[in-house]
Copies of this chain bind each other. A is one copy, B any other.
Amino acid sequence: MADKVLIYSRFPKTMMTRFAEAFELLDTAGKSAHEVFPAEIANVRAMLTAGGTPLGAAEMDRFPKLGAIVCYGTGYDGVDLKAAAARNIAVGHSPGANAASVADIAMTLMLATTRRILVADQYVRSGDWAGSKQSPLMRPQAGMPSRRIGVYGMGEIGRKIAVRCAAFESEVGYFSRSRHDVPYQYFPTLEALADWCSVLMVAVRASEETNHLVNADILKRLGADGYVVNISRGSVIDEAALVAALSDGTIAGAGLDVYAREPHAPDALTALPNVVLSPHIGGHTLDSHVAMQNCVLANLTAFFGGKPLPYAVREGGKSS
């Protein structure tokens, strides 16, 4: 009989296909497991969740035999790690599996925002170009070789962003909790990085410590030619301060893949012309899904085989 895995978050069925070949899946479709599978609760040993889905001590206590929480993706910010450790529940994720894909959406958002590709596309499609209409948003902007890119967080995603930016002939600097062995200028504080750079790439792992660290003060330091790109978690940026800074010209623009309350993006944000918005698709490539699924399968297989998770969350170890 196949081992049973509770699908705790809501995932598209197509993403579950490979897991269904190896395990019996109890798919809650994002609903309450206690309502959908009341008879199974007492025996649930492993669950698959999305890292951002809240999963605290009280919820863990509702699954008496729970031994493994496996996150699909690199994030695990929704999981109360201390509560899990106290209950001897292993927590796994997919470290690095989506790093290239996420770094690429960061670059996509940066380029699309700084080169104003939404405005440009509309300028062509509307016939304004053919009609020689003026568009203030189409004025030439600084190019990549004259930009200073500040990377906040130097984990696997941050490193890949830095490598890509360097290939664009941009100057690259970074801030993270500690200095890394990388060929980029280190800034000891986020404030210093924001003073120096014109594009801030937020690639730090989200946690309580990083909550709203990108605030009105940091945005002001970026300046009127400054941009913010966030592919981490919405919680890292004070979203209200960001909307204000984008609206009053404190900064020039933003490219965002993540939001404070997903899947909702504030109306004040979606009304802005100087932002490019994507629906948390950073890790959303075929390559990345295969790599993340490999981690999930390895974690679940090890767990049911009585072995430690090969891709376990090591609190404090994997952050930037």
Contacts and interface: CB of A to CB of B under 8 A. Distances in A.
B100 A145 contact: yes
A71 to B, nearest CB: 18
Interface residues of A, number: 49
A271 to B, nearest CB: 8
A201 to B, nearest CB: 15
B265 A130 contact: yes
Contacts of A278: 115, 117, 120-121, 124
Assembly stoichiometry (copies):
2
Nearest to A143: B285
The majority secondary structure among interface residues of chain A is helix
A125 B223 CA distance: 26
Interface string A96-140: 000011001101110110010110110111000110100000101
A43 to B, nearest CB: 30
A263 B129 contact: yes
Given A107-B107, A129-B279, A143-B286, 20 more contacts: A100-B168, A104-B115, A104-B168, A108-B108, A108-B111, A108-B112, A108-B117, A109-B117, A118-B118, A120-B279, A120-B281, A124-B270, A124-B278, A130-B264, A138-B279, A140-B285, A142-B285, A142-B286, A146-B287, A164-B168
A130 B263 contact: yes
Contacts of A65: none
Q: A125, A143, A144, A285 — which one has the most chain B CB atoms within 10 A of its CB? A: A143
A293 B146 CA distance: 16
A180 interface: no
Q: A125, A140, A168 — which one has the most chain B CB atoms within 10 A of its CB? A: A140
Contacts of A284: 140
Contact of A125 (B117, B169, B263, B270): B270
A277 interface: yes
A104 B143 contact: yes
A276 interface: yes
Given A124-B265, A129-B263, A166-B167, A276 B140 contact: no
A150 to B, nearest CB: 18
